A = this chain, B = another copy of it.
Amino acid sequence: MFDKYFDEYEVGEMWKSANGRTVTETDIVNFCYLSGDWYPLHSDKVWAEQGPFKKRIAHGLLIFSISSGLMHFEPGYIKAFYGIDHLRFTQPVFIGDTLKVHVKILEKIEKNENHGVIVAESNTINQKNEIVLHCIMRVAVFKRKKGREM
């Protein structure tokens, strides 16, 4: 996705991840491990079965982390991945769901002769074509021939 210069993006342009990724119990357990967030909705089967979803669900930030990996950040084009707005977890993700990412360019903001900011909408989609995570990303991208800085 982020594999070209600021000049080369067009507002309205879309990109879809080639690969999907199945969310496994291993991923959820590993996210408990890494984050230290053992909220029982993610880690206690008995507790989760008594809740509204009837089973354990993935952490929102795990889905966000997986989504970031499904995007393609080619070295040499990005100055900074500096922020996210309106991040929403719109549907629960269960063990065995398979995710893809769809990105759409919303806006190009001129900054200086070196780089601009790309504003893009990212939607993470499950195997039933439901949007499970939505956010707006802001990425500073180099202009052509301004070379690699970061």
A residues with a Cβ closer than 8 A to B are 18-22, 24-27, 29-41, 43-47, 51-53, 56, 59-62, 64-66, 68-70, 73-75, 78, 80-89, 96, 98, 127, 148-150
Q: Is the pair A61, B51 in contact by a Cβ cutoff of 8 Å?
A: no
Pull 5 A–B residue pairs with CB atoms less than 8 Å apart, ordered by A: A18-B74, A21-B36, A24-B25, A61-B61, A83-B87
How distant is the Cα of A85 from the Cα of B138 in the complex, in angstroms?
12
Q: Which of B20, B27, B69, B74 contacts A44 (CB 8 A)?
A: B20
Determine whether the beta carbon of B89 is less than 8 Å from that of A87. no
Chain A contact residues, majority secondary structure: mixed
| Number of copies of this kind of chain in the complex | 6
Say whether A86 contacts B89, CB under 8 Å: no
Give CA–CA (A33, B85) in the complex, Å. 25
Residues on the B chain within 8 Å of A86, using CB: 83, 85
Residue of B nearest to A64 (CB): B61
Using CB atoms, name the residue of chain B closest to A50: B148
